[in-house]
Amino acid sequence: MRPDDPFFDTPMIVVCNDTWSSVSYVQRLMFLATRFKALHWQRDIVYAGYQYAAFCGKDGQLVTNIHHKTKTK
């Protein structure tokens, strides 16, 4: 199923609170799910979260990936 909108050439912006889980692999899975959806929907997606920020291309290419390290107390 594709997104229900007429803007196929416009990138989607996904804002995500990926810090709700303190387990790092869950945060990574949330990011990878967005990358998979870019492939599945054949649509560019801008992922903006606390741990990751990236532009996921519709061809599967990861244009940029910024991983923010959390501060430990």
Q: pLDDT tens, 46-71?
A: 999 888 888 999 988 887 666 655 55
Residue 50 is predicted with a pLDDT of 85
Average pLDDT over residues 25-51: 90
Q: What's the whole-model pTM score? A: 0.77
What would the pLDDT profile of 11-31 be if each residue is shown by its tens digit? 899 999 888 887 888 888 888
Going 71 to 50 to 30 to 36, the CA torsion angle's sign is negative
What is the amino acid identity at position 49?
G
- Domain residue ranges of the chain, discontinuous segments joined by +: 20-67
Region 30-51: mean pLDDT is 91
